[in-house]
């Protein structure tokens, strides 16, 4: 029988506690520790706390989830890589692409498994999309891809916010566009809104061009391009999270809140079957499996996290300069 895994969660804030509960419920996990210097004594009954990452590593942990505030991801991630601890880093991988690249390089150099916690990849509506529309199947469903739209809006959460809306919310949809459509962001325009008294932007609207789309239906060198519109906000009263692609013959809409996938043709709307899997549990099960077997499944790589961070950087630069920013391909 395979020994149960020993897990560590770094950071016991909002997301950290969600990870703690989900990990503790997995049959593959035997024990869970937590490291958080700001955690009040006995605030998490039944979950042992340790004083530092070094102390936890000395106890022989098998994997970690880094759920500390985003500005600490690079510092703590480099420490975990140096100790040889397989680590799932909550999104965003880091606060900017330079930090993200240093983290990616560190885990690669150490030969340590790592992933980024882009949980929307495990949303049942997204999983159904992957099954129904992967590769050229999207072309068969909606024809030649023309436009892509994403929306992720809601009210200001009660938990402390340490990052702008781009790193907090928009990165989910940047990753989904990359992952589901196989293209890359080329040119980006953006506008942000900063509320008086707030330290960072809470709303962003993005217009971009996508290139290299394998799902366009066009001939090589002629197709592969689509327009992209994205919205993300923490200032709305209603909660919406969706991704829609429009093609020459129809549209495909994933409602990420209601967990519905809808195929739309003129005069016809059809629901695509969607499972009822819990996204966080599915993500953490995949993470445990990666540590045990090396099989990544749907988990985002650190290179995926770097690519998403590069687009997020470009969005903020475009908004600051009020100009179009071109994202160059990173040198190999």
pLDDT given for residue 217 in this prediction: 44
Poorest-pLDDT segment among 45-54, 151-160, 221-230, 236-245: 221-230
Given this model, what pLDDT does residue 46 score? 81
At 104, is the pLDDT very low, low, confident or very high (cuts 50, 70, 90)? very high
The pLDDT of residue 218: 43
The whole-number pLDDT of residue 156 equals 82
Whole-number pLDDT of residue 194:
86
State the pLDDT confidence band at 183, using cuts at 50, 70 and 90: confident
Query: What pLDDT score does 331 carry?
Result: 39
Count other Cβ atoms within 10 Å, centred on residue 77: 28
CB 119 within 8 A of CB 283: yes
Between CA 110 and CA 208 the distance in angstroms is 36
- Residue-level pLDDT at 160: 63
Going from the N-terminus, what domains does the chain have, and what CATH number goes with each? 5-120+280-299 (3.40.50.720), 123-275+312-326 (3.30.360.10)
pLDDT over threshold 80, residue 223: no
CA distance 313 to 166: 9
pLDDT of amino acid 240: 96
- Percent with pLDDT over 70 in the chain: 93
Is the pLDDT confidence value at 34 over 70? yes
Average pLDDT, the chain: 91
For residue range 58-92, list pLDDT tens digits in order.
Answer: 999 999 999 999 999 999 999 999 999 999 999 99
Instruction: Tell me what the mean pLDDT of segment 91-110 comes to.
Output: 97
Band (119; pLDDT cuts 50, 70, 90): very high
pLDDT of residue 214: 62
Instruction: State residue 111's pLDDT score.
Output: 97
CA-CA-CA-CA torsion sign (294, 277, 216, 182): negative
Sheet holding 5-10, edge to edge: 29-35, 5-10, 63-66, 87-90, 114-117
If pLDDT is split at 50, 70 and 90, which confidence band does 1 have?
low
Arithmetic mean of pLDDT, 200-227: 75
pLDDT at position 224, please? Answer: 76
Cα–Cα distance, 54 to 56 (Å, whole number)? 5
Q: Once rounded to an integer, what is the mean pLDDT over residues 157-180?
A: 88
- Are residues 114 and 100 in contact, defined by beta-carbon separation less than 8 angstroms? no
| pLDDT of amino acid 157 | 76
pLDDT at 128 over 90: yes
Considering only residues 195 and 319, tell me which one the structure prediction assigns the higher pLDDT: 319
pLDDT 10s digits, 252-306: 999 999 999 999 999 999 999 999 999 999 999 999 999 999 999 999 999 999 9
Of 200 and 209, more confident: 209
pLDDT confidence bin for 136, thresholds 50/70/90: confident
Q: How confident is residue 159, by pLDDT bands cut at 50, 70 and 90?
A: low
Distance CA 65, CA 87 (A): 6
What local confidence, expressed as pLDDT, does residue 222 receive? 43
Give the closest residue to 320 by CA, choosing from 204, 234, 154, 233: 204
Q: How confident is the model at residue 135 (pLDDT cuts 50, 70, 90)?
A: low
How far is the CA of 95 from the CAs of 72, 163, 263, 316, in angstroms?
9, 8, 36, 12
């Amino acid at each position: 029988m395979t020994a149960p895994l020993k897990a560590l969660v770094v950071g016991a804030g909002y997301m950290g506690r969600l990870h703690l509960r989900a990990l503790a419920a997995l049959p593959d996990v035997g024990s869970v520790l937590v490291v958080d210097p700001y955690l009040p004594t006995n605030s998490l009954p039944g979950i042992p706390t340790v004083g530092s990452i070094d102390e936890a590593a000395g106890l022989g942990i098998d994997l970690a989830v880094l759920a500390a505030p985003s500005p600490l991801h690079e510092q703590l991630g480099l420490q975990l890589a140096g100790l040889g601890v397989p680590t799932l880093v909550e999104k965003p991988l880091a606060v900017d692409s330079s930090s993200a690249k240093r983290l990616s390089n560190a885990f690669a150099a150490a030969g340590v498994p790592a992933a980024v916690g882009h949980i929307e990849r495990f949303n049942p509506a997204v999983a159904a999309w992957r099954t129904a529309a992967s590769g050229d199947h999207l072309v068969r469903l909606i024809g030649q891809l023309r436009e892509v739209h994403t929306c992720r809006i809601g009210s200001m959460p009660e938990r402390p916010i340490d990052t702008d809306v781009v790193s907090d919310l928009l990165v989910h949809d940047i990753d989904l566009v990359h992952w589901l459509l196989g293209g890359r962001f080329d040119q980006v325009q953006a506008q942000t809104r900063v509320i008086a008294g707030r330290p960072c932007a809470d709303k962003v609207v993005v217009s971009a061009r996508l290139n290299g789309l394998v799902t366009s239906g066009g001939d090589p060198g002629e197709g592969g391009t689509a327009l992209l519109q994205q919205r993300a906000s923490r200032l709305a009263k209603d909660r919406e999270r969706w991704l829609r692609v429009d093609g020459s013959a129809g549209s495909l809409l994933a409602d990420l809140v209601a967990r519905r996938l809808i195929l739309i043709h003129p005069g016809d709307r059809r629901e695509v079957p969607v499972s009822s899997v819990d996204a966080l549990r599915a993500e953490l099960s995949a993470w445990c499996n990666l540590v045990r077997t090396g099989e990544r499944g749907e988990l985002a790589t650190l290179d995926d996290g770097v690519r998403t961070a590069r687009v997020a950087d470009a969005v903020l630069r475009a908004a600051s300069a009020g100009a179009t920013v071109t994202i160059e391909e990173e040198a190999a």
